[in-house]
Structure 1
């Protein structure tokens, strides 16, 4: 039968009938932490991160929630130190003049003062001695684009134009009057214009001349050096304001000092120099004067003025002939990258050094101011980065027309195009081109090409025999015997 009282009520009656006993709670209820049942941290720890062990050392418990996968430590890459300041630039401009892996050419004759103008040396390669190499290196005559590092020792090919320049230098040495030769070298790219200027410097050093070299004319106009306006008497318009370049003048004096030291220390002063220069009037030499400008750019411009007066104006003491070589003169025939105080473009002819060199080269017969004992001016154009200046191209065309005995009144004589805007500064130079000789460098002759290629064969660069057919093929591939293209073929061709 079913119970009239539920089971829950019966359980309560059982508890009520149980005798009363007192229970003591061992731990107060407040001491139990209120922790969720799903938490895994230690209940007795005050800090869930650090747990004190029995010895009092802090132990970090394992991370139960974190990832337990193995982690690879990153390898520390040892980065090399960057090169020192100026090391990359020095590496780009480093000149190597010898190659120990190349074969030594037996029986090669040295180029000297005795055989400087020997016609039989045309088409032959002659070596350069050590003393001459030091002077050429000091005046920055070598360039990185030339093939000096291919051969055992530095040598150069004697061309017909080289012998002609040497003969004119001998005439200057023998002449009693102050004769000045002005030559403008033009030609296509890799035709040997810079090498011809180097050969002229070699012959000048052989004859104890003073040599002034401008290896890159574009350094004067590309806004990479300091410049300042020149103080002039009276008020000049902005288009006639001249500017000096102290650091470039200092570099020019430095090259002149190191390459002509043996000659400068024997020359005394003919004229008084400015009093603010710290030099002794009686005992100082031209070497001391140039040394002052090479050491401090603040003295560079007054030192250059005094030095230029000593070598250009005659005096009681004799002076040696002077050779001035400028490479890339076509960069001086247009506006420069410099700006005036009013942010107007400064023309290249407003720079004092450029104006001085061009005024001497394109001087009129009545206004010419030759050197104290004569000399030569050898300016060359560039073919690799030649700027487009139509007025200078017109000047060269007029020189070619005069070389062909074409009169200026002839209808074929080149003149500025109608409605064109020629450069007024360059037009002023055209009136002084009467004494300028144009040397248009072209390809090598057959005899010169043969001698040049045989030099490559004897050096171990060209593994072939030079025959008439192979020489004709090389001349055809090099644009008719362009010396730069022949050099490229000689170091890689396998016939």
Structure 2
């Protein structure tokens, strides 16, 4: 049989070694398939990179928008320490949008107790306003921001207290008048205390003011036990001092009585722990406690001694005023080391001030004379039943009911009365109970006319209109009358 190719061509043919038709991958690179899977394994190598096809369109969930740089978020700066509290307690004393009242006279020392001023609005001048502001005499609930300039209504109670103040000035010996002002809510008790401070400043008295007695008992300030070596601890009770509240009291005393304290020299020796110069004044002494709360308590003791103990240099008369004193007539929110409730009378300042009002001594608590005025609260009244009994007993004595009479009010049986308050009530014979009620008809008319002249009330003040607003305000309650006078549009 003949071949189809020649032998020479066959000899030149190079056959390669046998190559397996299928390349076997290592076990690590083989696809793992489960035994129950029916699909065949892919022959493509897993190491091969996938080709990118940008021109075929966006892939799934791929963003097409341009990427922008993140902007740093600017966080607002926090206000300084105390700024929010100052804004919350800020008191505005004028309103430029209100009309200026023509013919408004200023209340001065010359017309201080003039009975013809009853039922009239009197303006307060600038120097007096600065002293009242430093003493924290203004309250946020009062309507000072409604009018062009601050003014106050002279009431019958104002003239009566002014006459008492004039008697203290004329007395040769030290005479002290005590007033406990009570009344319903928004009846003008705090305004009456402010008017008393105005009269005291006009007569160059030293004014010590506690704008809110609740701050002493609501557990919002520092307190520490009083050492027994001070000699002021009573048997069976631990007393406590409050350094920061003492510092605030001295601060109000310094800045509201600067002109008087600068002219008073020291009469007694000052403790060596207080850095004072030889020719220091009472202002320099009180300024130490106002600047450092650690020195506030010894400074207060030395300051009070200088005011009340006689010496070579005479001292002026003193007015001590405190508002919301209901909170001093029961347990406080403070607790001792055994977590027991501390009574308000265990706080040294509270006990000192209440002893001034309800003093056991028949003589005056102020050596040089003065006045003490306590005002109760009607909007935030604490539940102290024993103090209510004390007020009823004072009212009964004013009406001529003796303590041995059957009509004399006593604590309810099985009511567990407060022993501290009962002790105070036993010595309250020298305290005058001043009850502040609604305004009279002439006073209400003058008050509403002031609203009309200031542009707040657009109505004709007739006898019928006055009677209508008095009935709506609960009989002429000054706070309710102010609400009606500032929102009615006729």
Equivalent residue number for residue 7 of structure 2: none
Label 1:38 to 1:434 Cα distance change in 2 as closer, same or farther (>3 A). Answer: farther
CA distance in 2, matches of 1:175, 1:29: 127
Check conservation: 2:168, 2:370, Cα contact below 8 A: yes
Match of 1:131 among 116, 121, 127: 127
Shift of 1:315: 1.9
Match of 1:487 among 478, 482, 486: 482
Residue 460 of structure 1 pairs with residue 455 of structure 2: yes
Residue 66 of structure 1 pairs with residue 63 of structure 2: no
Equivalent residue number for residue 357 of structure 1: 353
Check conservation: 2:233, 2:239, Cα contact below 8 A: no
Q: Deviation per CA, 1:41-71: give whole Å up to 9, x if none.
A: 994x4xx69x9xxxxxxx9999975324667
Equivalent residue number for residue 186 of structure 1: 182
Q: Deviation per CA, 1:82-103: give whole Å up to 9, x if none.
A: 4333222111100100000000
Equivalent residue number for residue 257 of structure 1: 254
Shift of 1:360: 1.0
Match of 2:325 among 317, 329, 338: 329
Q: Deviation per CA, 1:266-308: give whole Å up to 9, x if none.
A: 0011222212211134x11101100111111111111100111
Equivalent residue number for residue 245 of structure 1: 242
TM-score by length of 1: 0.87
Residue 101 of structure 1 pairs with residue 97 of structure 2: yes
Equivalent residue number for residue 433 of structure 2: 438
Residue 416 of structure 1 pairs with residue 425 of structure 2: no
Q: Deviation per CA, 1:194-227: give whole Å up to 9, x if none.
A: 1110111111000000000000101000111111
Shift of 1:242: 0.6
Q: Secondary structure at the match of 1:181?
A: strand
CA distance in 2, matches of 1:62, 1:87: 63
Label 1:285 to 1:84 Cα distance change in 2 as closer, same or farther (>3 A). Answer: closer
Q: How do 1:369-388 residues align onto structure 2 when only pairs under 5 Å count?
A: 369-388=364-383
Check conservation: 1:293, 1:300, Cα contact below 8 A: yes
Q: C-alpha root-mean-square deviation of aligned residues, in Å? A: 3.0
Q: Which runs of 5+ in 2 are unaligned?
A: 1-9, 32-40
Residue 288 of structure 1 pairs with residue 284 of structure 2: yes
CA distance in 2, matches of 1:190, 1:102: 23
Q: Deviation per CA, 1:433-459: give whole Å up to 9, x if none.
A: 010000010000000000000000000
CA distance in 1, matches of 2:319, 2:431: 15
Label 1:30 to 1:328 Cα distance change in 2 as closer, same or farther (>3 A). Answer: same
Q: How do 1:31-180 residues align onto structure 2 when only pairs under 5 Å count?
A: 43=48, 45=49, 66-68=60-62, 80-180=76-176
Check conservation: 2:174, 2:364, Cα contact below 8 A: no
CA distance in 1, matches of 2:309, 2:103: 45
Shift of 1:415: 1.0
Equivalent residue number for residue 37 of structure 2: none
Match of 2:421 among 412, 423, 426: 426
CA distance in 2, matches of 1:167, 1:228: 42
Q: Secondary structure at the match of 1:99?
A: coil
Check conservation: 1:312, 1:369, Cα contact below 8 A: no
Q: Secondary structure at the match of 1:195?
A: helix
TM-score by length of 2: 0.87
Match of 1:205 among 201, 208, 211: 201
How many residue pairs get aligned? The number is 462
Q: Secondary structure at the match of 2:228?
A: coil
Residue 302 of structure 1 pairs with residue 275 of structure 2: no
Check conservation: 1:330, 1:392, Cα contact below 8 A: yes
Check conservation: 2:120, 2:446, Cα contact below 8 A: yes
Check conservation: 1:319, 1:372, Cα contact below 8 A: no
CA distance in 2, matches of 1:169, 1:315: 24
Q: Secondary structure at the match of 1:263?
A: helix
Equivalent residue number for residue 35 of structure 2: none
